[in-house]
Structure 1
């Protein structure tokens, strides 16, 4: 994240200011634009956001020790929280505010794997993240403290976490070349002609490959496995899960989602009601944590689909796109078990390959921003390599030690300099 974005986070508004009035020409044009336009934009935003990242979420929950039912429950809970939170904020503030889960955050969960205490400790970490998000709404000093962490090191940590997952398409080619190769070809062609739909189309190709695999093997599928289910788990709190997972997950969530999400809304003329938004996302994260749902946050990439003039020429009517986005997430939540079953039936390495393709953009952005400041380049490289190594000491994951190593190197190189 660029330093300017971090400074924007530190000074994020507590309450949003009203959107500036559109020009007369824009108002006149908006009279001819039907409300079906923002509704269509909202449905597109939800479909793109969900299909581009749900594989990462399911991969992360499985890596964290969740069973197939628990992973399906987590996806359902997160989808429901995203939909409900989006509708609440849109109705209350009449602005195109959209929520999502953090795809880089899910990647961090996947890279960290099982923590001390197992799945219940993962649930405890989700609760801690929710509490920290709520604290950022209540205590401005917490946000200012986070803003002091060099953006280059935060992005280097994220890049190191994403690297092993971004290698999954290559390892998938070795494990199941007949299934993974067509997915990569579809993704590449779509990236050239339909970049917004590249990952969703790659998943569609993967689903076809799974169907072929199931048909060839004659695998029997219980129809009841497609029914939505919620499975609650009591949390436990361990030092390794809190320090090694919750704290880095909170940092990644703020840096990769909430900061750019705020910036995107501002770029289209909307001030975010910061405290209410953090309160809604924090409460939503807390209410769904025991069901396995990872933290929810502001949407970043898909936020522009609802907030841009493409959704509606009148800025005052774009909030309908957020209503459509939230409503569509309810439908997707009901289908969560279906997607979880696909993951179980997939050939080896296929879903991980799709997840890796979905993370290419985030990885490239993280690396670019990590090395952008030449004064912090060496500390950023140390941070990146430490995070990518996957080392763990005292039950604490590499993401935490990566930040520690980067900060130590940075302090050493700046010692005695003004």
Structure 2
């Protein structure tokens, strides 16, 4: 049997690399992780400090979160061939930053385990999936558009103070969309990096390289802490993270079974909580970067973006102590500008889907506006309240239409019974 030539072997290897690591998917993954880390890592550090964590324990938190996100993102995406991206609970971290003061690390970890078990039970019982199945697609799309609006407008708001960085990103994206549409975001990212370097926006002297080490903390279950920290952490994670996370997948056309996803994220959180994984859930904003056209022209291959995002999150976890120093070195304007261009197509598609049905258009607009407002009530973010407001609007409008239809039917029946109607 004749062996293939070296040229054929190299071409075959390159083809496999392109199939498993398409540049658009890898770029989308890198942007998603960059946005996720830069927008929330500081809050995670604050939450860890509130629990009395030292430097080693903070690094362990990042390691546990990175491992949990990597395993669940890659595993679930490969299992369902869909871009199922997970993340840590940013609203949960904000909640912990204010509620863990005076709470020992052991009792805090007990609350993390308790919250993970509650998410696990939500997946096993299927009650959350039943609720999500009742949400109309236009409202889910409006919810997604409202969640992403801040990042879309962030691209232009950065032009006020960082025009030399934000404008090249936008201009190169528009140009590449016409010439190299598959690599538009990659071109914009590269141009943004060059522009930020030329303007002196990077401070690489602040970066310190070090690996994270796992630190085990035995959980201690105190009912007061479970009620005051564990339950609110569960509610905030489900309402502000998992709910919009499912909406992102549904609005993008991925009908992934919700219950198994919650089961796995809850189980991963419960197992990794003693090392600092306070909250694992479906991603929303960063997931939208991996579900859009920019991630891959073939929607059946976009799951690779979530798989690569999981690999990048693993790197973030392993270099947990380095992440903090890198955050201070990277210009924030670059992150917001690249996130803005990366989400333009997703925002466009979401708004088109939200307003496609005239019957639900008003409810979709209410959902969009309430979600985009960023209002927080009872510790729960605007995604939940936006969906609640939209659902209420839809229910009232549907009741009005039913009454109008019933009234018209009765009028028609009465007309039919009159002598004129009978003779006609």
Same fold by TM-score greater than 0.5: yes
1:344 counterpart residue number: 328
**2:134 maps to 1:148:** yes
Change (3 A) 1:362 1:135: farther
Q: Secondary structure at the match of 2:85?
A: strand
**Displacement, 1:363?**
1.9
Change (3 A) 1:288 1:304: farther
**Displacement, 1:352?**
1.8
| Preserved contact between residue 172 and residue 191 of structure 2 (Cα < 8 Å) | yes
Change (3 A) 1:85 1:398: closer
2:51 counterpart residue number: none
1:139 counterpart residue number: 125
**Displacement, 1:191?**
2.7
Q: Distance in 2 between matches of 1:123 and 1:356?
A: 36
1:398 counterpart residue number: 382
Q: Distance in 1 between matches of 2:315 and 2:19?
A: 16
Q: Distance in 1 between matches of 2:323 and 2:184?
A: 18
Between structures 1 and 2, the one with greater helix share:
2
2:68 counterpart residue number: 81
**2:242 maps to 1:250:** yes
**2:137 maps to 1:158:** no
**2:205 maps to 1:221:** yes
Change (3 A) 1:366 1:213: same
TM-score by length of 2: 0.65
Matches within 5 A, 1:143-292: 143-214=129-200, 219=203, 221-223=205-207, 225-229=208-212, 237=229, 242-243=234-235, 246-257=238-249, 262-263=254-255, 279-287=263-271, 290-291=276-277
| Preserved contact between residue 239 and residue 380 of structure 2 (Cα < 8 Å) | no
Q: Secondary structure at the match of 1:415?
A: helix
**Displacement, 1:88?**
5.3
Matches within 5 A, 1:86-105: 99-101=84-86
**2:47 maps to 1:47:** no
2:349 counterpart residue number: 365
Query: How many aligned positions are there?
Result: 361
| Preserved contact between residue 168 and residue 356 of structure 1 (Cα < 8 Å) | yes
Work out which of the two has the higher radius of gyration on C-alpha atoms and give 1 or 2: 2
Gap regions ≥5 residues in structure 1:
1-32, 264-271, 312-317
Q: Distance in 2 between matches of 1:201 and 1:249?
A: 30
Q: Secondary structure at the match of 1:295?
A: strand
| Preserved contact between residue 120 and residue 263 of structure 2 (Cα < 8 Å) | yes
TM-score by length of 1: 0.65
Alignment RMSD (CA, Å): 4.9
Change (3 A) 1:350 1:306: closer
| Preserved contact between residue 156 and residue 383 of structure 1 (Cα < 8 Å) | yes
Q: Distance in 2 between matches of 1:71 and 1:376?
A: 46
Q: Secondary structure at the match of 1:392?
A: coil
| Preserved contact between residue 137 and residue 278 of structure 1 (Cα < 8 Å) | yes
**Displacement, 1:333?**
5.4
**Displacement, 1:169?**
0.9
The more displaced of 165-174 and 59-68 is: 59-68
**2:98 maps to 1:118:** yes
Q: Distance in 2 between matches of 1:72 and 1:50?
A: 23
**Displacement, 1:208?**
2.8
**2:407 maps to 1:407:** no
The more displaced of 362-371 and 373-382 is: 362-371
Gap regions ≥5 residues in structure 2:
1-10, 49-54, 102-107, 220-224, 406-424
Q: Distance in 1 between matches of 2:381 and 2:309?
A: 35
**Displacement, 1:377?**
0.9
